[in-house]
Chains A and B, each alone.
Chain A
Amino acid sequence: MLHFQDAFLFFDGGMGTMLQAAGLAPGELPERLNLTAPDAVRAVHRAYVQAGSDVITSNTFGANALKFGAETDAVVEAGVRLARESGARYVALDIGPTGALMEPLGALSFDEAYALFAQAVEAGARAGADMVLIETMSDLYEMRAALLAAREHCNLPVLATMTFSQDGRTFLGADPETAAITLQALGADALGVNCSLGPAETVPIVARMAAVTRAPLIVQPNAGMPRMENGQTLYDVTPEAFAGCAAEMAALGVTVFGGCCGTTPAHIRALRARLSSLRPVKREDPHLCAFASGQRAVILQGGPAVVGERINPTGKRRLKEALRAGDDAYVVREALDQQDAGADLLDVNAGLPDIDEATVLPRLVRAIQAVSPLPLQIDSANPQALEAAVRACNGKPIINSVCGKEESLRAVLPIARRYGAAVIALTLDEDGIPDTAEGRLAIAGRILQRALDCGIAREDVLIDCLTMTASTHQAQAMETLRAVRLVKERLGLRTVLGVSNISFGLPARESLNAAFLAAALEAGLDLPILNPLGSAMQTVRAFRVLCGQDAGAADYIAHCASLPAPAPAVPAAQAAVPSAPSAPGLRSLILGGRAGEIVPALRALLPGRSALEIIDGEFIPALDEAGARFERGELFLPQLMACADAVKAGFDYLRGLDAAPVATKGPIILATVKDDIHDIGKNIVRMLLENYGYRVIDLGRDVAPERVVEAALREHAPLVGLSALMTTTVGSMQRTVEALRAANAPCRVMVGGAVLTAEYARMVGADFYARDAAEAARIAAQVIGD
């Protein structure tokens, strides 16, 4: 078994530049040489063996089925064989990015990426590789797919390195801590940095990783920052300077060394010589309790971190409706609102009896992590849903939750272990919730032992001592707080509590919540689960001052300064009988695009009028007016969209009320056509149509004709809207229209987009040309009616 910590281990250096020197034509895939010029590849490997490389990396960086199709296995196997034939002590199967950008910014799905990596891993393991090196990843999500594929398709050690820009982040925004925490969680046997930067620029990045991980560290920098001359990429750092930086990194605890672009056997020889007199530095396990998204890490140190509780349909009508209708945009806004209010993590729960949680929960995870950088807490009682969602989740999530019941322990702990997630343990078991703090402590201890037996790190187990409702279990409030103290003292574990439950069934709930929260924080609560849009955040901010987490009360002061001045007190009589705001009030708020003021105005209006009256009597006429002004050139697109934003805010509020109508007109199917990815125009149309009460099924961008046809037939949609921004994609539009006609889809088709004209629209066979969003709304009214 290889060790990556006890002694220095030397990899090889750059391959591409050496192969070009050996005659690789520009534009040719370097991995193809494994089949066409094996001697040249073997010669490069041999030069590194002679320079002192312990490990030779196979020439398989881009050898995946996207680039090599049916030849993939042969290219990988030949690559590993050539490395072996060079006389290498060890051979590392090299795996680089697929070359395709992953969802959500690109088109490659997690499962597709996983399958590509799995194929390469299996071929490499079959050919006799000693370890897997996953390198040059700039997307943590892609790295996650590759690491899981390696762990699940071979038994070899896996080393994982990411590439960073000069600002210390990957292209997709992960910082070194986030990368290290995630890679350690996923079980990388060594982790670190390669490519992009020169050795000097790499040192501070490695130092940041070293501070947050116990995993052995690997570094393979470029020979300096690249510079282009005469169409050639040049690197300037000499072997001696390169080796000098390596000594600095050895002092930080790095034990595995090699080079990337521009490095040569001379660099490796110098590296070996320079480190021969040094011994590996012993590193301490920092035992951090940490979580991560794809961009951000939350490390529990010196104070609490807040988990936003709002993405949970229990008792929330609008969220239930959104989950049932597949309206992920609403859920995403709940995520952004909580983020803005100061949440550090987000709980995600989709538990409704009539939806398939195992499908919906991972979909929500993908939708939320596409826009929010907060780490997620995956909340479900259904193990299948938990696993599917944790698998889809970037970074290192928390699982909420396991409990002391045998069935739960057996189902949930292996998921936490497999994905390196932290896990919340509820202090209840087959006998229910113990009445005493000691009883809960005992269950916590039992769950901890089972988690340790399963291979989960101690710091990844979080204990929920369970908040009981004060109205029904008054004596339990203090017992819960005592349990928190005991768990911290006796087990040294972090604690979690759902705060709001304390006040259920009692008036002025926020007061009770605040008192309980303050007491719990003092008792040692680390992760309060609460509604960050309420006043509880202020209690947390205050506590952070008192416990010293908010140094100099800087955040507290800054937050207080950002609050609006309190409104002047309204005499009670006036407040009780609101003078019915006149209709033009709402209308002018909409026409002024004042989205933030819509909800208060609606609250005042609603006692006297139904939601439907407001929609038909206020929203729609105001939208029509905005559309007319837009048409006359009095309003411009950003202003029209501000009106639409305001109406949308109003709709969302009304839909949260009991008697509000659900969008039923339509449906209208929208898509940006195949090969086109510019979809802001389509999204504008969608918003306006939804404002008018249509149900819109948005298929997204780069949508193949078959998908449009399938959706049109399945939904019996009377209207399909297609957008294209490029002249080159008008052809895709035409093919989509033809496919709809050929399938006899009973729909009309409207088209729009920057390059479209009425003439083009006729040419591609559309029924309508929507020159702008307002026109699209008029077409919808004409086809579907009110």
Chain B
Amino acid sequence: MYAPEVDRSEMLRYAGLAGRELDEATARRAGAMTGVCLREARPAWRYALFDLAFDGEAPALGNILLPGRDIARHLRGARRCAMMAVTLGLGAEQALRTMQQRSMADALLLDAAMSACVESAADACCRDIARDAAASGLYAGARFSPGYGDLPLSMQRAFERVLGMQRALGISMTDGCLLVPQKSVTAFVGLYPQQPSRAKDGCDLCPARAGCVYRRTGGACSCPERSDSREGEC
């Protein structure tokens, strides 16, 4: 069983507190909310591996066609591709809602802790994918999620179809294809014959770049492609 983790510096980054000296009260709150996150989060994931074909320019996983330039460029050279879904669970979602009724300051920090927590869980899922890839001599690349670049959010529906996210993980989708619990991540992960370069697409592809509140405040979003993100395992 994978136990939830919270990377403190990532958490502070999500909270817009990166690199700041924390006053004692804020530090105490951050510690308490890390504890709540670890107690309430039930990280779980599922993934499926597919042979990757190209239908013209467009990558295809079985009968699923991935639209847009950006994902095609991202998966160039990949032989196989994983579809993964990770979540902290509905209990975490509920805890976040409840915390907003108790204290907005705590809720903000809990939200940040959970963002860091789901990222760590996604990294752990990617380690499993990388292990499976290694068994067939392939290397896992970086995650690429619906809504990033020109890959439409509506691709979330393919994740439900393939992974049965609702029944297996308790992840459901709104009419507008947003995931509930909010602390959930879906992504495509390419598997390559050579170790893919660590060059990231970065924030340039990000549709939210213009007004990104994180860029403005020196924080970071939860996107693994962001130019200043840690080197992930996948």
Interface residues of A, Cβ cutoff 8 Å to B = 26-27, 97, 99-101, 104-107, 136, 138, 163, 165-167, 169, 171-173, 195, 226, 228-233, 329, 332-333, 336, 370-372, 592-595, 636-639, 641-642, 644-645, 674-678, 680, 683-684, 687, 702, 726-729, 754-757, 759-760
Contacts and interface: CB of A to CB of B under 8 A. Distances in A.
B167 A136 contact: yes
Interface string B6-38: 000000000111001001011001100000000
B232 interface: no
B48 A99 contact: no
Given A107-B174, A642-B105, 7 more contacts: A105-B97, A228-B163, A230-B50, A332-B101, A641-B108, A754-B211, A754-B214
Contacts of B48: 228, 230-232
Contacts of B162: 26, 231
Given A171-B90, A680-B107, A687-B104, A637 B211 contact: no
Given A173-B94, A637-B16, A642-B105, A26 B25 contact: no
A138 B90 CA distance: 11
Interface of B: 1, 15-17, 20, 23, 25-26, 29-30, 42, 44, 46-50, 61-63, 89-91, 93-94, 97-98, 100-105, 107-109, 111, 147, 153, 161-164, 166-168, 170, 172, 174-176, 178, 180-182, 207-208, 210-214
Given A106-B172, A107-B174, A676-B176, A645 B211 contact: no
Of B104, B163, B212, B214, the most chain A CB neighbours within 10 A belong to: B104
A692 to B, nearest CB: 15
Contacts of B161: 26-27
Contacts of A642: 25-26, 29, 103, 105
Contacts of B61: 231
A592 B23 CA distance: 10
A169 B40 CA distance: 13
B179 to A, nearest CB: 9
A231 B159 CA distance: 11
A605 B213 CA distance: 40
Nearest to B91: A173
25 contacts: A99-B172, A105-B93, A105-B97, A107-B175, A165-B42, A171-B91, A228-B163, A233-B164, A336-B101, A371-B94, A593-B105, A638-B17, A638-B105, A638-B108, A642-B105, A644-B104, A645-B103, A675-B175, A680-B100, A684-B108, A727-B207, A754-B211, A754-B214, A755-B211, A756-B211
A215 to B, nearest CB: 25
A107 B101 CA distance: 19
Nearest to A673: B176
A551 to B, nearest CB: 24
A462 to B, nearest CB: 29
A332 B23 CA distance: 30
B65 to A, nearest CB: 12
B175 to A, nearest CB: 7
B174 A702 contact: yes
A727 B118 CA distance: 22
B165 to A, nearest CB: 11
Contact of A728 (B15, B98, B153, B164): B153
Of A230, A636, A754, the most chain B CB neighbours within 10 A belong to: A636
Given A195-B167, A233-B164, A677-B178, A336 B102 contact: yes
A704 to B, nearest CB: 11
B97 A675 contact: no
A97 B208 CA distance: 35
B182 to A, nearest CB: 6
Given A99-B166, A107-B174, A642-B25, A231 B105 contact: no
Contact of A637 (B15, B23, B176): B15
Contacts of A166: 1
A365 to B, nearest CB: 16
A726 B147 contact: yes
A363 B42 CA distance: 30
Contacts of A687: 104
A645 B105 CA distance: 7
Contacts of B46: 228
A178 to B, nearest CB: 14
B198 to A, nearest CB: 26
A727 B206 CA distance: 10
A167 B94 CA distance: 17
A691 to B, nearest CB: 10
B29 A228 contact: no
Contact of A26 (B26, B62, B108, B175): B62
A677 B180 contact: yes
B62 A231 contact: yes
B62 A371 contact: no
Contacts of B94: 105, 172-173, 371
Nearest to B47: A228
Given A638-B17, A638-B109, A642-B105, A370 B49 contact: no
A641 B109 CA distance: 10
A674 B178 CA distance: 11
Contacts of B90: 105, 171-173
B30 to A, nearest CB: 8
A55 B109 CA distance: 52
Contacts of B89: 171
A138 to B, nearest CB: 6
Contacts of B15: 636-638
Contacts of B63: 26-27
Contacts of B163: 228
A754 B213 contact: yes
Contacts of A760: 210-211
Contacts of B30: 638
A759 B47 CA distance: 40
Contact of A684 (B17, B47, B104, B167): B104
Nearest to B23: A639
Of B48, B93, B105, B212, the most chain A CB neighbours within 10 A belong to: B105
Contact of B180 (A101, A195, A639): A101
Contacts of B211: 754-757, 760
Contacts of B97: 104-105, 370-371
B49 A138 contact: no
Sorted nearest first, the 8 A-B pairs with minimum C-beta distance are: A675-B176, A171-B170, A757-B211, A641-B105, A642-B105, A371-B98, A101-B172, A641-B104
Contacts of A674: 176
B91 to A, nearest CB: 5
Nearest to A96: B167
A67 to B, nearest CB: 13
A675 B173 CA distance: 11
A169 B163 CA distance: 21
Contacts of A226: 168
Contacts of B174: 106-107, 675, 677, 702
Nearest to A769: B211
Nearest to A169: B91
B12 to A, nearest CB: 10
A632 B163 CA distance: 47
Contacts of A332: 101
Given A106-B180, A233-B164, A754 B212 contact: yes
A334 to B, nearest CB: 11
A757 to B, nearest CB: 4
Nearest to A702: B174
